[in-house]
Amino acid sequence: MSRLRSWIKSHEKIYFMARVLQQFRNPDFRSRVLAITDSPAMVKIERLGEKNPDKLFYLIELQDCGLSGLFALLNDTVKRLELARRLGATPYVLWRNTSYYPEGNAFERYFLQLTDISYEDILQSQNVIISRQQDGFERDCSQVYYEQPGYLQAIGALYKKYVHLRPEINEKIHKDLQNSGLSDRIENSIGVHFRGTDFRQSLAGHPKYISYEDYVPVIKDFAGGGTAFIFLCTDDDNALEYFKNVFKDSPCELLYYSDTMRSKDDFGLHYENFRSPEKNRDIGYEVIRDVYTLAKCKMFISGVSNVSFTARAVNAAYEKTFEKVKVFDLGLNISGVTSKVFNEKFNVTSKKSHTSSGG
């Protein structure tokens, strides 16, 4: 029997199955095994080397390959940072192979890194937690766009603690506000975010498309029938033309960044550098500028998206709370076009799965 036991132990998969059969009636054993893959409370501290014995690192490495919008990446990151906060761990964030900065760490292109210790040193450290998708707040893939009670405020607190724009990005936004004439008017404006482009194609697992027409009565209601500034943030050229036409003879004044890239077709802007690599457009900066400008507005109207959620989170973290908010929510598309269609069209290959997606 001892020889059989030794043989079983020498074969990892067989030994594992034997232990499962031995303990399957034990509820504590079952819950612990399931928690390994399912629970955001289950962590494994890796010993990758001998450096930094007095520190605990939390490594967030997203290998996106252009599949996601910038704020899908950021919100996935911030959700995970809740676990780092609870553990008192030092986070390090790495976004690889994105359309925003294919050759380097896109997180560091726009935001300050969360530690001075290098990635190479962390990979040689004694105490490292490798981030998993389920870390942080308890949400599954079907809940990516939806909030639990108090979630917006909790995420806002994490933004304030961990997410800091690079000084040159912050200064550039400040200059753009001044040069566009928005700086004196934005705090009295109705911020409007309209998500078009690929949302019109009924993307599977994404929020259902909201039409231009649905926005107009809400904007007029927020304006109270009088004069108002309306700051429009949209990825969709058709939407911009529609709202310009609707409000051209109105006492309301439509404001927007004239130099923002927008699209007339049904492809998300986060694919733009795959479609037209010769342009090398910094679309990441433009959507960050839109979000931080929206966050300064007096009121806010949007559909459900990562961009609109982030504008509300940044507002909760840094600005005065919006006086009025309307978020259109028709639920998610159960079926429809998948990101695979776009990936194949632009020859984008994912090296690692990532549950967040477009804006």
Q: Work out the average pLDDT over 140-161.
A: 74
CA dihedral 185, 190, 191, 192 (to 10 degrees): -140
pLDDT value, residue 12: 82
CA distances from 256 to 92, 184, 186, 197, 314 (A): 35, 14, 10, 18, 19
Round the average pLDDT of the chain to a whole number and report it. 85
Per-residue pLDDT at 225 exceeds 90: no
Task: Evaluate if residue 8 carries a pLDDT over 80.
Answer: no
- For residue 258, pLDDT over 70 is answered with yes
Average pLDDT, stretch 130-145? 64
Number of C-beta neighbours around residue 309 at 10 A: 24
Give the torsion through C-alpha atoms of 85, 91, 95, 101, to 10 deg.
110
Residue 354 is predicted with a pLDDT of 42
What is residue 33's predicted lDDT score, i.e. its pLDDT? 66
Higher pLDDT among residues 267 and 78, named by residue: 78
Percent of the chain with pLDDT over 70: 82
In the structure, what pLDDT confidence band is assigned to residue 9 with cuts at 50, 70 and 90? confident
**What are the domain boundaries of the chain?**
2-38, 167-345
Mean pLDDT of 157-176: 96
Paired with 302 in beta bridges are: 193, 327
The DSSP-derived string for 149-172 is TTHHHHHHHHHHHH--B-HHHHHH
pLDDT of residue 243: 96
Q: Class of 167-345 per CATH?
A: alpha beta
0.95 cut: is pTM over it?
Answer: no
Question: Stretch 29-47: mean pLDDT, rounded?
Answer: 73
Check: CB of residue 216 under 8 Å from CB of residue 192. no
Tens digits of residue pLDDT in 278-293: 555 788 999 999 999 9
For residue 61, which phi and psi values (nearest 5 degrees)? -125, 110
Taking only Cα atoms into account, the Rg of the chain, rounded to an integer number of angstroms, comes to: 23
- Res 259 pLDDT > 80: yes
Highest mean pLDDT among 21-25, 75-79, 200-204, 296-300: 296-300
At residue 80, the 3 state secondary structure works out as helix
Q: Which of 138-152, 181-195, 262-276 has the highest mean pLDDT?
A: 181-195
Instruction: State residue 351's pLDDT score.
Output: 47
Beta bridge partners of 190: 230, 299
Which of the pair, 96 or 148, is modelled with greater confidence? Answer: 96
Per-residue confidence (pLDDT) for residue 146, from 0 to 100: 58
CA 201 distance to own-chain centroid: 21
Please check whether residue 113 is in contact with residue 93, taking contact to mean a CB–CB distance below 8 angstroms: yes
pLDDT bin (cut points 50, 70, 90) of residue 101 is confident
Has residue 355 got a pLDDT over 50?
Answer: no
Residues pairing with 203 in the sheet: 337
Continuous segment of H or E residues that includes residue 128: strand 128-130
Reported as a pLDDT band with limits 50, 70 and 90, residue 340 is low
Would you place residue 344 in the very low, low, confident or very high pLDDT band (cuts 50, 70, 90)?
low
